[in-house]
Amino acid sequence: NQSQLDRYAQEAKEQNDVYSSFTQSSWQALPKFIRPTSGKFTNSFGRKRFFNGEERAPHSGLDIPAPIGQKVVAPADGVVVQTGHYFFNGQTVLIDHGQGLISMFCHLSEIKVEKGQHIRQGETLGLVGKTGRVTGPHLHWGMSLNNARVDPQLFLTTTH
């Protein structure tokens, strides 16, 4: 219906505003990221997706199936720039790591941080859930560099 379309358009604009922002950072080299939660990566970055037989945008992150309530931690230091409950993404947290690098954590059952909060690597930002448009409990972890979606695995110290 139209109200859902309007809601989605507003949410997409809010998230795009975050993705297109640029914050100076003091880091001299790319930070070493850790996994935000334990579990196997599924639905890999860039994978083609279909809905009702029609091709959709490629998958823009990594999915990590996990039990509801499992901790989700910050993969690197940053500032929480947005939290909210979105139509498709469910309960979501976005972290600005500086230099145009933003990470996104979707489908959370609970958000444990607030907008504007400085967060350190390994600190809890939320709990795995199944909010938004999902088929089961998991964390969707997305990253953006200067408003271009990128594979989060590129920033990990190890891909295991």
Closest CA to 140 of 92, 77, 81: 92
pLDDT at 157: 78
Question: What are the start-end ranges of the H helices in the chain?
Answer: 2-19
Whole-model pTM: value is 0.79
What are the tens digits of pLDDT across the range 18-29?
Answer: 766 667 776 666
What are the tens digits of pLDDT across the range 132-141?
Answer: 888 899 999 9
Average pLDDT for consecutive 10-residue bins of the chain (160 residues)?
A: 76 72 68 91 61 61 93 96 91 93 95 97 97 90 89 77
Closest CA to 97 of 39, 37, 34: 34
pLDDT at 47: 60
Domains parsed from the chain with CATH numbers: 2-23+32-155 (2.70.70.10)
First to last CA, the chain: 42
pLDDT at 160: 47
